[in-house]
Amino acid sequence: METLFGSIFWLIITLGVLVTFHELGHFWMARLFKVRVLRFCVGFGKPIWSRYDKQGTEIAVAPIPLGGYVKMLDVRDCDVPAEELDQTFNHKPIWQRFLIMVAGPAFNFILAFALYWLMFVVGKNEIHPTIDEPTALMAEAGFAGKDQLLSIDGEDIRTWSDVSLQLITAGIDRRDVTVEVRTATGTQLNRTLYLSRVPEWVPEEKLIDHIGLKAYTIPVPAIMDELEAGLPAAKAGLQQGDEITAINGQAVTDWYDVTDIIGAIKTGPINVEFLRNGLPQQVQVPALMTDPDDSSRKILGVRSQPPAEADLNYYRGLFFNLSYGPLESVTQAFGQVGKITSKSLEMMWKLVTGKASLKNLSGPITIAQVANDSASRGFSWYLSFLALVSLSLGIINLLPIPMLDGGQMLFLLFEKIKGSPLSEQFEMKAQFIGMFLLFSLMSLAFYNDILRSVT
């Protein structure tokens, strides 16, 4: 329940900030060209709060936080006295109307740059992308445990997010990539990852797992530490020093397998196979028990032995603070905006051409969940997330789809070529098509969100 309320709260904050800034771009540019703004509204629906500024513009907040709008004086919407025609949107030159439309997405790009700049100045706790023992294609390519990824096809890699950006897009194309690594001994060398060998049926969301890429984790053997007498495991006869080898028939190789398998169990009994003094044994635990400290969790009542100090020290050494000075952060922020924009456009093109699955589309539910997760990680993580969504909002609004800013800009281009305004009938039909497209995409995004939530 706490997670649900947190997700809703951070969704409202996220969309509130981004929509307000987007509409502020339209509002500011309209005012610059002396277009009368009748209403500046954040959200859809009947306003739940409003006030008027000194120039007569209604500033309003509506209850549905999935967008907003700037309503400008326009002769197509109402009768306008002749002396006020110069304040209407449709009587302004095409280039001014074009700038008013492009200002919304432009403000999202400006906001994203500012957020990335602040993130780099404040600093963000990250971890060097270092791999665990590889399998599948990674192992075939010669990668080894504790290899630190430095670059992919010449693009510098600093974080796991950088790794995902590079590998997912290359993987969709089934394009082989050259990866520069620093080995556990400190040697730098290049290895070729043959993504062309990934079968076509492997979806993008399974690509990283399929190629055998795993982040480094501290080795923790499935050997039990001291058990609490009143919990299910101790009652069933398990003891300190027992090494778990299987749970309900599923093989266990380390403690991470133990936690994953137990976390997926809904009901008992639970069959636990283990080694005691080198001899295989088996017990049956009737059922899991509700965690006294967390009623939403079920527990078996086992805990691992502490990992080796050397492994702990190595893992701690992988963490670093991704930060720069105020001036250098300007360059870094520009670079981040450029990189994310490029990868986003590339992914959109793959969606349009069918190379990428429409399952990649996400809606408000996913945004809410990720917003809550990033906020819980810290201020800089939330800044990074907010910048990413701001860029996405800016890019999407530039698409040449009626109902979006890009569609309105396309209409203005047609008007310039035609030499006269487009007919209202044509615009209405185009708006209807645009509304249908947007509704279809939003429905698909909602469907994907729900599917992710229940699987």
Domains by residue range for the chain, with CATH? 2-33+92-123+381-454 (no CATH), 125-219+307-322 (2.30.42.10), 232-304 (2.30.42.10)
User: Encoding tokens for residue 256?
Assistant: 């991470």
DSSP letter (8 states) at residue 419: T
Report which of 350, 357, 368 is spatially closest to residue 450, judged by C-alpha positions: 368
Q: What is the pLDDT of residue 452?
A: 56
Token reading at 237? 């006869």
Element (H, E) at 152: strand 148-152
**Would residue 23 show up in a list of annotated catalytic residues for this protein?**
yes
* pLDDT score of 447: 61
- Give helix 160-172 / helix 326-353 axis angle, nearest 10°: 30
Q: pTM for the complete prediction?
A: 0.86
Strand segments, DSSP code E, in 172-331 are: 177-182, 188-193, 243-247, 250-251, 270-276, 279-285, 289-291, 294-299, 319-322
Interatomic CA distance for residues 223 and 274, integer angstroms: 9
Cβ-Cβ contacts under 8 Å for 291 (sequence gap 6 or more): 297, 298, 299
Check if the beta carbon of residue 183 is closer than 8 Å to that of residue 146: yes
Nearest to 390 by CA among 73, 137, 112, 135: 112
Residue with the two structure tokens 């229940």: 454
Q: What integer pLDDT is reported at residue 448 of this predicted model?
A: 63
Report pLDDT for 169.
86
CB atoms within 10 A of CB 342: 12
List, for residues 396-455, the tens digit of each pLDDT value.
899 888 888 998 899 899 888 888 877 777 777 877 787 777 777 777 666 666 655 555
The predicted structure's pLDDT at residue 402: 83
> What's the CA gap between 454 and 186, in Å, rounded?
44
DSSP β-bridge partners for residue 190: 180
The catalytic position among 23, 126, 180, 273 is: 23
Residue 281 bridge partners (DSSP): 274
| φ/ψ of residue 361, rounded to 5 | -65, 135
- Residue spans of the chain under pLDDT 70: 1-4, 358, 361, 363-364, 444-455
Q: First vs last Cα of the chain: how many Å apart?
A: 19
Phi, psi (degrees; rounded to nearest 5) at 260:
-65, -45
Structure tokens that stand for 58 in this block: 């209604």
CB 74 within 8 A of CB 85: no
Nearest one of 149, 177, 147 to 163, comparing CA atoms: 149
Residue 267: count of CB within 10 angstroms of its CB? 8
